[in-house]
Amino acid sequence: MKKLTFALASLLLAVGATASTDNNEELAKRIAPVGQIYVAGEQADVAAEASGPRSGEDVYKGACIACHGTGALDAPKPGADSWKPRIAQGFDVMLKHSIEGFNNMPAMGTCATCSEDEIAAAIRFMIDGV
């Protein structure tokens, strides 16, 4: 009987030990700083998501404002009526002109690091409410 009791006690201890190891791992996961539970590749994705595309307003303030903010070289100002005939020709034409350049409007509006989506967002910001 003593042997059986010992065996049962060992078994219970073993089960208990396993369970507590699992709990420790769970706990470690829960209290780990977010970055540590990602492998290197996943971390890069997280960083890209965190910065994300710039807003139209940010792009405008960073690049377009130099001309469109002041009307330099007859660049249409945000919200101005002079956007109306440009809007009438279609958004795709305005986007193409912004990407490739158009008269005194430089290609990509001088924003070398902008994506086409960010340029489109900046256009939408400038024509908002026109």
Which positions from 69 to 98 touch ligand HEC by CB under 6 A, shown as an x/- string?
A: ----xxx----------x------xx--xx
Let me know: does 56 contact 123? Beta carbons within 8 Å.
Answer: yes
Number of alpha carbons in the 13 Å side-chain half-sphere of residue 104: 10
Amino acid residing at 79: G
43 binds ligand HEC (CB under 6 A): no
Token pair 């007859």: residue: 74
Q: How far is the CB of 50 from ligand HEC (least distance, A)?
A: 23
Phi/psi class of residue 5: alpha, beta or left (left: φ > 0; alpha: ψ in -120 to 50)? alpha
Q: How far is the CB of 108 from ligand HEC (least distance, A)?
A: 6
Number of residues that bind ligand HEC (CB under 6 A): 26
Structure tokens at 105: 């409007």
54 binds ligand HEC (CB under 6 A): no
111 binds ligand HEC (CB under 6 A): yes
Q: Which residue is nearest to ligand HEC (CB)?
A: 109
